[in-house]
Chain A
Amino acid sequence: MCDVATVQKIANCLGVVPGEIQLNDDQVVTRIGAQNNRVTGFATILESLAVESKSEIAQNSIASPEVQAQVYQWIEFAVLYVGPGSKDKHVSKQLLADLNNLFSSKSYLVGHFLTLADLAVFYAIGDLIKSLSPVDKENYLNLSRWYDHLQQRPDIHQGETLLNFTTIYLHNWATGTHL
Chain B
Amino acid sequence: MTKLRVSSSFSPAEITMSTGTLYTYPENFRAYKALIAAQYSGAKVKVAEDFKFGESNKSAEFLKKFPFGKVPAFETADGKYLSESNAIAYFLANEQLRGGKCPFAQAEVLQWTSFADNEILPVSCAWVFPLLGIMPQQKNANVKQDAEVVLQRLNKKLLDVTYLVGERITLADIVVFASLLHLYQYVLEPSVRRDYVNLNRWFVTILNQPQVQAVVKDFKLCEKALVYDPKKYAEFQAKTGTKQQQPAKQKEEKKPKEKKEAKKEEPEELDAADEALAAEPKSKDPFDALPKGTFNFDDFKRVYSNEDESKSIPYFFEKFDPENYSIWFGSYKYNEELSKVFMSCNLITGMFQRLDKMRKQAFASVCLFGEDNNSSISGVWVWRGQELAFPLSPDWQIDYEVYDWKKLDPKSEETKKLVTQYFSWSGTDKDGRKFNQGKIFK
Contacts and interface: CB of A to CB of B under 8 A. Distances in A.
B214 interface: no
A141 B201 contact: no
Contacts of A148: 160
A168 interface: yes
A106 B204 CA distance: 8
B162 A145 contact: yes
B48 interface: no
Given A111-B208, A112-B205, A113-B209, A149 B162 contact: yes
Contact of B167 (A112, A149, A165): A149
A145 B160 contact: yes
Nearest to B167: A152
A105 B160 contact: no
B437 to A, nearest CB: 56
B323 to A, nearest CB: 62
B202 interface: yes
The 4 closest A-B pairs by CB, nearest first: A112-B208, A149-B162, A107-B205, A152-B167
Contacts of A169: 160
Contacts of A107: 162, 201-202, 205
A114 to B, nearest CB: 10
Interface of B: 156, 159-163, 167, 197-198, 200-202, 204-205, 207-209
Interface string A137-152: 0000110111011001
**B contact face: mostly helix, strand, loop, or mixed:** helix
Nearest to A108: B205
A34 interface: no
Most A CB atoms within 10 A — which of B156, B159, B204? B159
A72 to B, nearest CB: 21
Nearest to A154: B167
Nearest to A179: B197
B187 to A, nearest CB: 20
A169 B159 CA distance: 10
Contacts of A104: 197-198, 201
Contacts of B204: 105, 112
A142 B198 CA distance: 9
Interface in A31-53: none
13 contacts: A103-B201, A105-B197, A107-B162, A107-B201, A108-B205, A112-B207, A113-B209, A144-B160, A145-B159, A145-B160, A145-B161, A165-B160, A172-B156
A89 interface: no
A148 B160 CA distance: 9
Contacts of A141: 159-160
B40 to A, nearest CB: 12
A93 interface: no
Nearest to A141: B159
Given A103-B201, A106-B205, 6 more contacts: A107-B201, A107-B202, A141-B159, A145-B162, A168-B160, A171-B159
Most B CB atoms within 10 A — which of A141, A145, A153? A145
Interface string A53-85: 000000000000000000000000000000000
B373 to A, nearest CB: 48
B206 to A, nearest CB: 8
A140 to B, nearest CB: 12
Contact of A105 (B156, B161, B201, B209): B201
Contacts of B162: 107, 145-146, 149
B161 A149 contact: yes
A125 B213 CA distance: 32
Contacts of B198: 104, 142
A94 to B, nearest CB: 21
Nearest to B158: A145
A146 to B, nearest CB: 7
Contacts of A168: 160
A123 to B, nearest CB: 17
Given A111-B208, A112-B205, A105 B167 contact: no
A51 B422 CA distance: 81
A37 to B, nearest CB: 32
A117 B61 CA distance: 54
A108 B167 CA distance: 13
A152 B166 CA distance: 9
Contacts of B208: 111-112
Contacts of A149: 161-163, 167
Contacts of A165: 160
A152 B207 CA distance: 23
A73 B389 CA distance: 68
A106 B209 contact: no
